[in-house]
Amino acid sequence: MDNDTTVWNTTPIIVTKHTALGESINHIKDFQLIQNTDITGFAALKKANKKNMAKKALLVAKPTTTFARDTKKTVLLEEVDFELTDIIKAKNSDALEYCNLIHDRGTDYLSEMGDYPITIEALEKLDAAINLFDLSMPTPDAAHSEVSAVTKAIDLEIELVDNILLGMDELMVTFKTTETDFYNTYLSARRIIDIGVRRILMWVKCLDAVSGAIVKGAEVYIAELGITLSTTKTGNARFFSLPPGSYTVTITHELYQPVTLNDVGIFEGKTTRFDLELVRS
């Protein structure tokens, strides 16, 4: 539409809806920025504490990773195989989660790693670095509440966008015979909505029940359809083009207790959403 403003800018109601659409899109971008950025930002002191924590974590992670490879402990390997940049570039809450996991697994297997360069002193220094960094982090409940509020705001804004676009669809019919090229261009841009193939019909988000951290790699399985999706780095699994009906949905992850949702209703044109807090095994 921005390339054909002369066609529609003399129709006040379309101008109003176009403006509202642009505002909603900007709101969604702002909300996503909040959602994907650590809540408290990266102050200089926090950066230094984070880097210190990451370095201390690697002194534990590297020998534990070697031990895991040598003993073919695949789950342990996946839990502790980190590079320095993996931790430093991660969101603060995720970095804290990674380092806590490295510390816990190093402690769990310390007695078995006598021939590897890992010491109680290294674990104690990592624990101190974790505590120092944690002092500047928001509480899990506060962080979780903020993310939940922003997620709900995005959902509401998306519903508003849908309503604006449906209203514009009706208004565009007036250009069908007078501005055929413009009308066809608009229809092409809206085709994805008209045929309905990209509507999110089920949306599952997985978080750690204790820390509120995003859980990546959880498998979301719809039994009746035999469909499985894994949660992304944002903790989301989104299903499109599901037939309406009632389903059994199972969420599994090697580090967490499984969750089963019975009688999950899927309805045409409506998103069924679950924000799940997974409990560690």
N residues, the chain? 281
Q: What is the pLDDT of residue 39?
A: 47
Q: Which of 262, 250, 272 is nearest to 200 (CA)?
A: 272
Does the global pTM surpass 0.85?
no
pLDDT for 180 equals 80
- Tell me what percent of the residues of the chain surpass a pLDDT of 70: 76
What is the pLDDT averaged over residues 125-131? 85
Q: What is the pLDDT of residues 230-270, one digit of tens each?
A: 887 778 887 877 788 899 999 999 999 999 999 999 887 77
Q: How much is the mean pLDDT over the chain?
A: 79
Residue 146 Cα distances to 25, 36, 140, 142, 150, angstroms: 20, 12, 10, 6, 6
Is residue 21 within 8 A of residue 165, CB to CB? The reply is: yes
DSSP 90-119: S-HHHHHHHHHHHHHHHHHHGGG-TTSS--
| Residue 256: alpha-carbon gap to chain centroid | 17
Looking at residue 40, what is its pLDDT?
A: 45
Report d(CA 150, CA 33) in Å as an integer: 10
Residue predicted with more confidence, 139 or 18:
18
- The CATH number assigned to the domain with range 198-281 reads 2.60.40.1120
- Residue range 186-197: mean pLDDT, rounded: 52
**pLDDT score recorded for residue 243:** 83
Cβ-proximal residues to 178 (8 Å cutoff; 6+ apart), any chain: none
Q: pLDDT by residue (tens digit) across 36-77?
A: 554 444 456 678 888 889 999 999 999 999 999 999 988 888
